[in-house]
């Protein structure tokens, strides 16, 4: 048996899957061939070392990512339009890092508020439905009034309202004098202040 022929058998020999006859033949060759013996020794040592090495475990986040970003999940979400849209909008907010940041901010503010302005202790009477409803109504009313006030005090709103008033007035003026002149046969200037005795002086 040549070394090239033996090379093919060394794998099975190292694996321990050779039959008794082939095994004897290989061992006879190895006993007399230094190069092949060295190859077999190295191969066996490498296999033994690899058996000692721990298996590679995929990280848990990989499994999660594979299952959540799987193509069939994406295809399904693309099909349901509104759901997909919502997910797309909420996606940056629902990131773990962002959510954690938000939670920490809320916690910090809560602690700060407690320290700066300690809240009044909650009493059982505060939880009575009538009390809760009255408080809620009061808050809603106040809130509504505040909103209306804010809206009316807006400069833009005020300008629009005054402009509309002007237009309305102008329109009234245009229609009113025309009707009056038709009745009396002469034009009167409503913008002028009535001057006492003017009409009498003209007739004299």
Partner 1 sequence: MAAAALAMVSGGPFQERTDSGRRYWVKQSLDLDHSLVERCLSGDEAAWEDLIRTHTRRVYGLCYRFTGKDSESQELTQEVFLRVYRTLRTFRATEGAFTTWLARLTRNLLIDNYRRTRQERLTDSIEEQLPRIEESVSAESRPEGMVAGREASEVLQAGLQKLSPELREAVILRDLQDMEYREIAEILRIPEGTVKSRLNRGRAELARVLRRQKVLV
By CB under 8 A, name the binding residues for partner 1. 7-8, 10-17, 27, 30-34, 36-59, 62-63, 65-67, 69-73, 76
Q: Shortest gap between Cβ of 83 and partner 1 (angstroms)?
A: 16
> Per-residue b/e over 164-191, b at no fewer than 16 CB within 10 Å?
eeeeeeeeeeeeeeeeeeeeeeeeeeee
Q: How far is CA 133 from CA 121, 144, 200, in A?
A: 19, 16, 71
Task: Please name the residues in contact with 3: beta carbons below 8 A apart, sequence gap of 6 or more.
Answer: 29, 33, 35, 36
When the beta carbons of 69 and 186 are compared against partner 1, the nearer one is 69
When the beta carbons of 62 and 164 are compared against partner 1, the nearer one is 62
When the beta carbons of 63 and 102 are compared against partner 1, the nearer one is 63
Which of helix, strand or coil describes residue 68?
A: helix
Nearest Cα to Cα of residue 173 among 160, 151, 161, 188: 188
When the beta carbons of 56 and 156 are compared against partner 1, the nearer one is 56
Nearest Cα to Cα of residue 172 among 191, 157, 159, 156: 191
When the beta carbons of 12 and 180 are compared against partner 1, the nearer one is 12
Q: Shortest gap between Cβ of 98 and partner 1 (angstroms)?
A: 22
Q: Shortest gap between Cβ of 70 and partner 1 (angstroms)?
A: 6
Q: Are 98 and 92 in contact (CB under 8 A)?
A: yes
Q: Shortest gap between Cβ of 82 and partner 1 (angstroms)?
A: 21
Q: Shortest gap between Cβ of 21 and partner 1 (angstroms)?
A: 15
Q: Shortest gap between Cβ of 53 and partner 1 (angstroms)?
A: 4
When the beta carbons of 16 and 185 are compared against partner 1, the nearer one is 16
Task: Please name the residues in contact with 158: beta carbons below 8 A apart, sequence gap of 6 or more.
Answer: 152
């Amino acid at each position: 048996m040549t070394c090239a022929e033996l090379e093919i058998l060394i794998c099975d020999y190292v694996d321990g899957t050779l039959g008794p006859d082939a095994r004897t033949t290989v061992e006879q060759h190895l006993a007399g061939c230094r190069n092949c013996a060295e190859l077999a020794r190295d191969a066996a040592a490498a296999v033994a070392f690899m058996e000692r090495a721990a298996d590679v475990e995929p990280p848990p986040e990989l499994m999660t990512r594979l299952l959540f970003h799987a193509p069939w999940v994406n295809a399904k979400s693309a099909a349901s339009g509104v759901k997909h849209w919502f997910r797309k909008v909420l996606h940056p907010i629902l990131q773990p890092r962002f959510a954690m940041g938000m939670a920490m901010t809320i916690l910090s503010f809560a602690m700060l508020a407690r320290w700066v302005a300690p809240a009044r202790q909650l009493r059982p009477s505060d939880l009575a439905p009538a009390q809760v409803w009255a408080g809620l109504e009061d808050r809603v009313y106040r809130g509504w009034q505040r909103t209306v006030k804010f809206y009316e005090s807006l400069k833009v709103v005020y300008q629009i309202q005054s402009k509309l008033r002007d237009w309305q007035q102008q329109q009234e003026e245009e229609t009113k004098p025309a009707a009056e002149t038709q009745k009396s046969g002469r034009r009167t200037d409503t913008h002028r202040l009535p001057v006492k005795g003017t009409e009498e002086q003209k007739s004299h």
